Amino acid sequence: MKNFWQDIKKIGEPFLALAPMEGVTDFVFRDIMSDLAKPDVLFTEFTSAESLDSLGYDKTIPRLKFSEKQRPIVAQIWGVSPRSFEKAARLVQELGFDGIDINMGCPDKNVLKRGAGANLITNPSLTTELISAIRTGAPDLPLSIKTRLGFNKIITEEWITYVLEQKIEALTIHGRTAKQLSKVDANWEEIKKSVEIKNAVSPSTIVIGNGDVFTYADSIQRYKETGVDGVMIGRGIFHDPFLFEKSINGSSHTTKEHLELLLTHSKLFSDYWQDSKNFAEMRRFFKIYVKSFRGATKLKVALMETQNYDEVEKLIKPVLNSLS
Ligand SMILES: Cc1cc2nc3c(=O)[nH]c(=O)nc-3n(C[C@H](O)[C@H](O)[C@H](O)COP(=O)(O)O)c2cc1C
């Protein structure tokens, strides 16, 4: 097995992962991030193993498309059926991914309803079956798990020990329970405890801490406090798309650079997804690129009305011209 996790581990600093985010870290955004300031590892959006194993295959498979520049790239899957997991794992290995990850943290009610995502925290025996199915389907791929500290309450000792006993190659811990959603601060004390458990139970497993890291400086601090190998960043990217430049004082980029990025992203989104995704999905990104300049609020409001790339260009080009 080629275990890339060991290759990205660093001495004296954490490696940084871009968190899997549904509706955000699609093929296009991962390409953008790879060109801009590349995270040390990227994940796909979570992808249903059962959908891949059904008539939903054609609709689902675009989630597992990646480009070479996105490597190392990990496919995240979710679900409950060991049979579908084995098939999905085989597919993920055939597609050439660098790793495969099981989602055991999603608190979305539609996911929980099926017994999947964070619900697996309450079902250790199914967890073991799913891990075994992945090992059978993708024997050459390192396996990682992304989970939380518990379902209703924090059970780090019990749950994290159980997961680590499965001897997986990497573990991401989002420092909250499923019930807490993102409403309370991430608990890095418990993440530190998880590192201690790892040292005792499975020293070779890579541990990644996740939750409320918004700057590179934050990630260094968390690394020093807890001993994690890596830090995963999700929403931080909405505050600073250049975050993965790893600038200790925060990145400093001009309005022009941000707006050019907005145009590039919109164009790639439009060209890549064409009619298969609604252009309105770009709206959540506009606030990343448009901020802190005179007229920004007005521009954001206008962008929210756009239906396609041409309309975005019509709004952005005059602003760019006025800046140069
Ligand atoms: C819009 C959005 C979509 C998400 N989708 C996923 C997902 O598909 N898989 C997953 O494991 N976590 C998902 N998450 C959770 C993030 O990966 C991450 O654990 C969480 O945002 C906490 O990290 P942060 O404080 O750095 O944002 C999502 C979070 C957000 C905000």
CATH code, domain carrying 210: 3.20.20.70
Q: Which residues form the pocket of ligand 1, taking CB atoms under 6 Å from any ligand atom?
A: 19-24, 45-46, 76, 103, 105-106, 146, 174, 210-213, 233-236
pLDDT, tens only, 222-237: 999 999 999 999 999 9
Same domain, 275 and 240: no
- Give the number of other CB atoms < 10 A from CB of residue 196: 13
Same domain, 231 and 270: no
Angle at 169 between CA 96 and CA 66, to 5 degrees: 25
pLDDT, tens only, 271-293: 999 989 999 999 999 999 998 88
* Ligand 1 atom closest to Cα of residue 232: 26
How far, in Å, from the CA of 21 to the mean position of ligand 1? 5
In a domain, 215, yes or no: yes
Residue 45, pLDDT > 90, answer: yes
**Residues identified as active-site:** 106
Mean pLDDT of the chain: 96
pLDDT, tens only, 251-263: 789 999 999 999 9
**Domain extent for 273:** 255-323
Same domain, 70 and 47: yes
Boundary residue ending a domain (197, 223, 245) = 245
Q: Give me 310's structure tokens.
A: 């041409």
CA distance 104 to 112: 10
Mean pLDDT of 143-151: 98
Tally of structural domains, the chain: 2
Same domain, 214 and 281: no
* Ligand 1 atom closest to Cα of residue 212: 25
User: Residue 323 has what pLDDT?
Assistant: 86
How far, in Å, from the CA of 277 to the mean position of ligand 1? 20
How far, in Å, from the CA of 304 to the mean position of ligand 1? 23
CB 258 within 8 Å of CB 289 = yes
Same domain, 239 and 299: no
User: Residue 252 has what pLDDT?
Assistant: 85
Same domain, 83 and 209: yes
pLDDT, tens only, 122-137: 999 999 999 999 999 9
* Ligand 1 atom closest to Cα of residue 210: 23
In a domain, 250, yes or no: no
Boundary residue ending a domain (217, 245, 273) = 245
How far, in Å, from the CA of 148 to the mean position of ligand 1? 11
Choosing from 16, 18, 22 the residue with most ligand 1 atoms within 8 A of its CB, the one to mutate for a pocket test is: 22
Boundary residue ending a domain (194, 227, 245) = 245
Same domain, 266 and 161: no
Q: CA 105: distance to chain centroid?
A: 12
Percent of the chain with pLDDT over 90: 95
Same domain, 43 and 190: yes
Angle at 103 between CA 22 and CA 237, to 5 degrees: 40
- pLDDT-based confidence at residue 155 (cuts at 50, 70, 90): very high
Residue nearest to ligand 1 atom 15, measured at CA: 21
Same domain, 172 and 297: no
- pLDDT-based confidence at residue 182 (cuts at 50, 70, 90): confident
Same domain, 279 and 224: no
The reported pTM is: 0.97
In a domain, 220, yes or no: yes
pLDDT, tens only, 108-118: 999 999 999 99
User: Residue 249 has what pLDDT?
Assistant: 87
Same domain, 185 and 306: no
Residue nearest to ligand 1 atom 21, measured at CA: 234
Same domain, 152 and 278: no
